[in-house]
Structures are given as structure tokens and as C-alpha cells.
Structure 1
């Protein structure tokens, strides 16, 4: 039963039924803590977890809210939301995507101050990650249609990278990757999911393991690629019993080797996969969702082990916030375990100055990661918990009526300062999940709070 919850080969309905059966046994869960995670990846991009299994793992960690943001896909949103409901948790669903910060016309005209800056994307200047969160359920089909050509373009680019990877693999005497068999068939692409660079690196890792074997032979073989291995990673890769070997090797290759095979994604108007930031913001607002810039900040140590120490946005943060305001970005999301107290305090101050909602989350895509975010128990970050509950309410209320969304221009509380509006929505989100209010009652309460 437990295995079925995390079985990618069966349908979402079957996984949810398995979760219901599992809960009939009254499993012991820890008390809820004042933590959430709004940045969980599932099998619909790259992750060891189905949406139902991710929600269960989050509940076992004591989280109050779980949120999914698969790359270029919201195909797991329905399963995630229903699994969270069964577990007595809140849910915030959405997707993550890469965008060009400026349009081609802005670059050509010289009105693109950030086009040659490295933002939150280690691979390419001028391209940024952003999320679209709190998607109303009745807009999921529109999201799928919007993301389909992006997913298809990303698959084509992956095919180009497979060709580059195979040159290296065959040079090492390893079996080459078959795009369809080794990547597409192992993904959820046929069911609305996305093929990512991690799928490619996982396939490459498996070919290297097949070539060099497990244990010290693998470590020695990787020396031929010139990978920079820490003592901790060397020990992990040399462990013949390591159950997470593919994920561990994938993380190292992403940090140290991806650049050798990486193909820069092109713009959607050129048949590529990256729209402009303005386009995604407009799309998100048009469906009643919340677009967020994903702040990374200068990295000293990566909690997921897949990013090198490197400088990102911190040297031009005020300029970045100015551009986000010009583009109409209403929110910024970041990962408390990844950032220092000083970085987060600076983000909080700028978010308040520029009127942006602060959203938190921890990038979950490997089996070694924990779902907890203990930083959210710190008093100075309590506003992030309130914001999470506000997004829980937003997603449900905007599904009833777009004008009830947190940022709806004709919303009943739109005249209130953002901090007050978030507090009101946050209280409604908790009341909805705790069962203190029905959705109809929450609608009435929101309108009466005008």
C-alpha cells in the first residue's frame, strides 16, 4: 500500500486511493509545526516522489502546508491538492519555469539592463527562474495548454544535449543514451510532465555506473571526467551499498559538469522554450495565479549539492527589484536554508519597499533532502508562514471567483496595504484547512471584511 502511493507507473487516482487506504490504518503522525514547503518537485519534473508521496512525506515531517512547483508543468497539481486535503494539510500548487528577463526588442533597443547579468540561473546570463503559484483548479487545463509547446521545445533541446553527452560516454567506453528509452519513457512526459536536465544527467550517471561499476572503481573512473569531488561525495560514491547513488552522482555532475553538454534554451518566438518574464507574469495574472521571482543570492554552500559557490544577484539587488516592479511582478520566493540571515533581512526590506509578497520554499528533488524548514520557526520569519496560509486561501478563493484572489485588481480587500491583506487571507487559509470555515463561509467572510 505504501509503495503504491509512490508508484509512478499507476494513475493519480490509484495513488490517492492507496493513500486513503493507508490512512485508514491510522498511522502515527507528529504534531504539526509552524513550517511549510512551497517548492517541492515531483515525478512530473524530476523527483523521487509522486505528488501523493511528497504530500505524505511533508505530513510525516509535521509540515502544515505543502506546495508543488514542477518545471514547466502543473500536471501534478490536482493530485498534490487532494493528497494534502486527505492529510489535513494546506496546499499551494503551481509550476516553475525559465524566462528571459527582457524581450528581444528590449535587448535590441538597449533597454535591457539585466540581459548580460547572471541572475538566479547558473547556466545562462539574462535568463531567470520564476514560479507561478496558487493556480485556481479550474485554470489547470489552460496552464497545461500554455506549457505544452514549452515542454516540447525543452524535449527537443534535451535531444541536442544527449548527442553531446553521448560523445563523452562513448569516448569513455560507456553505453550511449537512448533519448526515448532512457529518458522519455522514464519521465511523465506522456502525462503532462517535463523532461529536464536532471533526467539527462540521471541517464548519464547510470551509464557511467554501468561502465565503471559501483564503489571505488566509479570514483576512479570519474577522475577521467575531471569532476571535483569533496571527501563527503567521494565517500558516498565509493559506497557500494549506497541506495541514492544515481542522485548523488547526478548532483555532482550538475554542479561540475553540466556546462560541458549544456545547450542554451532559446526564446519561444524562435521556437524555443523560454518566454519573456513579462509574458509569464501576464499569463499568471490572467489565470488568477501569483507569479514570483525566485531569488537565489550569492551561494557559498548549496544544500542540495548541485550548485557551486558563485555570485548571483546580490551586487545589483536594488536594480533587480526596480525591474521586477516595472514588469509587474507581485512576489518574490526564496529558500531560507540556502540564504543567510543578512540576505533574508535585505530581501524583506526590499520586498516591503517595493510592495512584493515574500514566499518561502525549499527545493526538494532528491531522496536525501528533508522536507522541514526549521528556519520558519524563527520569529523574524513568521511572516513567511502567514504568507503561505494566504496563498492557501488565495488558491481556493480564486477558484470560486477570480475577483477573490489575493492580488485581484477588483478584490474586496485590494485597498488594504499588502501586509494587512496577507494577514486577512492567512487567517482564512488556516480556518479553511482546520475546518473552522467552509469555502462558502470563507467567501462570505472575505466579502464582509471589506
Structure 2
């Protein structure tokens, strides 16, 4: 079983498929058992953007943590979607699929504001949740030029970083071998700044090993100010998350030195992406970040984002066609999220939660969603699952459709109805059974 667990995150698809079959068979026969809680997480990255986990590995990690549902959320790609759904079906866990993308707010009142993006003004992250499997190919085709534009910038960023690498006495990074080669770009995945930083982390450890020499190099040669926690992590040669912790430090301190701002080929107009999301029956979702103190992932510095103008932002989101807002309960204060929850209610926006998973140090678990003020987020997750499965069968069964039998219900009641369907789905099947379809159609 240990070998299967390791190969579940192999870069090779066939190895992952074989490992998944071994684990699924062991689960079916009672050889392995999983704990169970009511937690859900709708925002897990995989190796198709940046993560230590394959799509199947992410599903297994969520199942092992006792989660009832897990959501795929890769940057600029949904290429891992089919593998993700197959794994969820075999392991019997609720699943949702989508992608994350940066969009331009240039033609809105917030074109010069720092929204939810630490690196750029006028550019925001948004998610497209709940995409039915039949529309994966359309989504992937739509995102292909975005990935191409991003890789043009990635190559230029590596060139800039290599100037620093030379100054620091480190070997240069070869984009094709060290960056593209560790990604799933050949299979339709995206390449992000984290891939570049991971390549840099590998060059640093190849020169200095792991431990105090790396911390000393960062402070002396690279002129990095290490927090006490970062220095403690990087001084420990036995730290199992070493490369990811080093990546986080580089992201805060070194990325700004070689970062190149993306252009409009890479960050499409927000309205165009919202409209496309609706066309493929996805749910266009604004990703609330909020003013950040200490980052849970260790790769964001303290910084201010939307909080000072959030009351002005929400009506613009509504006008642009957003249907939901996603937020991360562990990241923000209850005061911040109380305001977001209130504004979502005021503007009729669905609320979706998820904890951004892209490092081995992070836990799949999100116990915060079990707190009273966040329990409605579980209903939203099961409503998303029902939306995705029902829309796979018929477009007008979408949670957002204006013509099905639940379309006139207030949003909160509609979510509860769909949540009820989601909770009784056979999670081992890709589409709802006949009895659920009849119940949905006739009541």
C-alpha cells in the first residue's frame, strides 16, 4: 500500500492510474478504512498547476483526512479534471471541478486598485466552480492561449532570475529542463511562478544542501530577511517540507526582483471570463482575500487588499455577472468574514469555501467549516456537487438556470434544495440515478 500511495503522485499518468486501482480495490474490500467527518474543501491545487499532489493524490489525501467532498482548482487549466473525477468515483467522495484564473479589472472602477492579487494592481484572481465534465474540453481550449501567454512571460522571468543566480554563484535555471520538465504542461497543465521558484530552491539545495548553510546564504548573499519561523524551518535538514518552505521564502523575498507584470493576453477582461463561465454552465466566483496578516501558506507577506473598499466592490461584482464569492475561513478574522457574508446576502451571491492547498505542509482538513457561522458552506458544497452532476445530464438542471422548477426560489432555498440532491447522490456514479432525476423533474 505504501508503494501505491507514493505512485499515486507520480508524474506518469499510467502509474497513477495503476496505484489508484490498487487503493480503490483495497478500500472496496475493507483492507483500508477512512475516517469520516463533515468537512469539505473546494480549493485544492494539483500538479496540473502547482502542488505535490496529482489529481488522484489530492482526492486520496482528502478521503484520508475524512473529508466528505473535495474540489479541484488548478490555475489556467482543467486538464486534471477527468483523473480527479475518476478517483472521486472510485473512492466514493463528493467532488467538484473548476479552474482559477487571473482577470483584468482595467475597464471597471477598480482598474487601479489592489484587489486580491499580491503581485499586481487591477488584476484579480477569480474561480470558475462547478463545471460539468462534458464542458471540460471547451474550458481547456479557452485556457490554452492564456497558458501560452503565461509561458512566454515565464521564460522572460527565468532569464531575469538567472542574472541573480549568477550573482549568487548558483547554476542557471534551464526553463525547458528545470521548469517545464517538472510541470504537467505537456499534458495541458499550467506553469506558475511557483514552478520557477521550486527550480531555484532545487539549485540552492544542490549547492548548499539542507540546513543552516541555506539560511546563511539567503541572509548574506541573497539579502533575504528571514522570519524566526522561516529560519527555524530552513535550518532543519530533516524538515520533510524543506523545498516548499524554501519556495515560500523565495516567493515573498525574491519573486518581486524578477517578476514581470502579465499582459492582457494572459489576464483576459473580467467580463469575458464571467460570460464564458456562464456559457459552460460554471459558476463565476470572486475570490475574496482580505487584508492579510500572517499567511497560512507562509508565502504571502502582510498586505492590505479589498477590505477598505469592499462595500463599493460588491455591487460591481454583481453587475459584472459574478454569481458567487469564495473565501477561506482559516485565513481571515470572523469580523472580516461576517462582513463578506452580509454583503453576499445583500447582493444575492452564493458563498463557497475552500482552503488553498499547494504545499505538503498544508492539511486537507478545514475544521473551521464546522463552526456555526460557516455551516452553510457545507450546504453550498453539496449544492455545487448536485449542480455539476445534474448539469452533466441536462443544461437546464443548472443551479443558475432561470427555467427549471427551482429557479424562482430565493438563492438560499435553492441552495438547500440542490444540497439535498447532492447529499443523496451515489458518489460512485458520474451522473445521477433515474430516481433522483425524476425527483428533480417532478418533485
TM-score by length of 2: 0.95
Does the CA contact (< 8 Å) of 1:101 and 1:276 recur in 2?
Answer: yes
Separation in 1, partners of 2:31, 2:83: 20
Structure 2 residue aligned with 1:303: 296
Separation in 2, partners of 1:317, 1:68: 27
The alignment partner of 2:42 has SS state of: strand
The alignment partner of 2:145 has SS state of: helix
Q: CA deviation at 1:246?
A: 1.1
Does the CA contact (< 8 Å) of 2:36 and 2:68 recur in 1?
Answer: yes
Does the CA contact (< 8 Å) of 2:293 and 2:301 recur in 1?
Answer: yes
Separation in 2, partners of 1:45, 1:15: 21
The alignment partner of 2:66 has SS state of: coil
| 1:387 matches 2:347 | no
Structure 1 residue aligned with 2:192: 196
Q: CA deviation at 1:438?
A: 4.3
Q: CA deviation at 1:22?
A: 4.1
Separation in 1, partners of 2:29, 2:158: 45
Q: CA deviation at 1:26?
A: 2.6
Does the CA contact (< 8 Å) of 1:5 and 1:19 recur in 2?
Answer: no
Which of residues 268, 273, 279 is equivalent to 1:286?
A: 279
TM-superposition CA deviations, 1:378-436 (whole Å, max 9, x none)? 11211100000000000000111111010012232111100000000001001004689
Q: CA deviation at 1:25?
A: 5.5
Structure 1 residue aligned with 2:36: 32
Which of residues 248, 255, 259 is equivalent to 2:256?
A: 259
Structure 2 residue aligned with 1:206: 202
Structure 1 residue aligned with 2:98: 94
| 1:121 matches 2:117 | yes
Structure 2 residue aligned with 1:67: 71
Structure 1 residue aligned with 2:390: 397
The alignment partner of 1:185 has SS state of: helix
Structure 2 residue aligned with 1:362: 355
Distance 1:187-1:18 versus aligned 2 partners, 3 A rule: farther
Separation in 2, partners of 1:405, 1:115: 32
Structure 2 residue aligned with 1:227: 224
Q: CA deviation at 1:9?
A: 1.9
Q: CA deviation at 1:205?
A: 1.1
| 1:442 matches 2:436 | yes
Separation in 1, partners of 2:33, 2:116: 36
TM-superposition CA deviations, 1:19-55 (whole Å, max 9, x none)? 3244356344443211100000001000000111111
Q: CA deviation at 1:15?
A: 4.5
Structure 1 residue aligned with 2:158: 162
| 1:81 matches 2:85 | yes
Separation in 2, partners of 1:288, 1:251: 35
Separation in 1, partners of 2:324, 2:427: 26
* Aligned residue-pair number: 437
Does the CA contact (< 8 Å) of 2:47 and 2:53 recur in 1?
Answer: yes
Which is worse superposed, 432-441 or 35-44?
A: 432-441
Gaps spanning 5+ residues in structure 2: where? Answer: none
Separation in 1, partners of 2:86, 2:285: 24
Q: CA deviation at 1:279?
A: 0.8
Does the CA contact (< 8 Å) of 1:48 and 1:366 recur in 2?
Answer: yes
Does the CA contact (< 8 Å) of 2:98 and 2:127 recur in 1?
Answer: yes
Which is worse superposed, 221-230 or 295-304?
A: 221-230
Structure 1 residue aligned with 2:23: 19
Which is worse superposed, 83-92 or 223-232?
A: 223-232
The alignment partner of 1:225 has SS state of: coil
| 1:238 matches 2:235 | yes
Separation in 1, partners of 2:173, 2:427: 49
The alignment partner of 2:267 has SS state of: coil
Separation in 1, partners of 2:427, 2:164: 54
Gaps spanning 5+ residues in structure 1: where? Answer: 107-111
Distance 1:245-1:294 versus aligned 2 partners, 3 A rule: same
Distance 1:280-1:18 versus aligned 2 partners, 3 A rule: farther
Separation in 2, partners of 1:422, 1:407: 10
